[in-house]
Amino acid sequence: MILGLDVSTSITGITILEKDGTLVYNDSWDTRKYKSFFEKVKYVEEQVVHLSKLYGGFERVFIEESLQTFRSGFSSAKTLSTLARFNGVVSWLVYRILKTEPEYLAATSARKLCGIKVPRGTKAKQVVIQHILDNVPEIQIEYTKQNNVKPHCYDKADSWVIAKAGLIQCQQERKQQS
């Protein structure tokens, strides 16, 4: 099985795929109610332990690479630093609990591997959600009363992209070896 994680200090998306691409699990861990960095870490640790008990080991684990650069109107240095720290701690938890060294995929590379093209000037999250709606009906997308996608659904969708891209990478590696 392949585990894909979209790690964030607010909501982390989780997807598990079989080697044939079948969706096993897709959910999110909402840590917005925890104010302390360490409370968030403790909650995620409990969730990773739970995954381990439910599914055992994973052939490969893929985590979305945290943002590395500033973009106008987006994250501050403090936010980027906190996200990188959290991503590192979650990576360590995955390694320690699941006994699998995580591999990192940039969001743009993962989308490209999945055949998701984001037109210039379009928000990637919207394009990914539309791709999920059109191609992965097993993933439940929920809406607010105002008919907007609920925030956790973006993370669920992004984790699927990471898991699917990881699976494609594994398949490409197998082809090269044979």
| Average pLDDT, 10 consecutive residues per value, the chain (178 residues) | 94 96 96 94 96 91 75 61 87 95 95 94 92 94 95 96 96 84
pLDDT value for 175: 85
The span from the CA of 106 to the CA of 112, in Å, is 10
Q: What is the edge-to-edge ordering of all strands in the sheet holding 11-17?
A: 23-30, 11-17, 2-6, 60-64, 103-105
pLDDT value for 136: 94
Q: Any idea where the domains of the chain sit in the sequence?
A: 2-177
Answer yes or no: are the C-beta atoms of 72 and 17 closer than 8 Å. Answer: no
Buried b (16+ CB within 10 A) or exposed e, 55-72: eeebebbbbbbbbeeeee
Beta strand extents in 18-126 (DSSP E only): 23-30, 60-64, 103-105
The amino acid occupying position 143 is Y
Which pTM does this prediction carry?
0.90
Q: Which CATH number describes the domain made up of 2-177?
A: 3.30.420.10
pLDDT value for 67: 58
Kindly give the residue spans of alpha helices, DSSP state H, lying in the chain: 37-55, 77-98, 107-113, 124-135, 151-177
pLDDT value for 95: 95
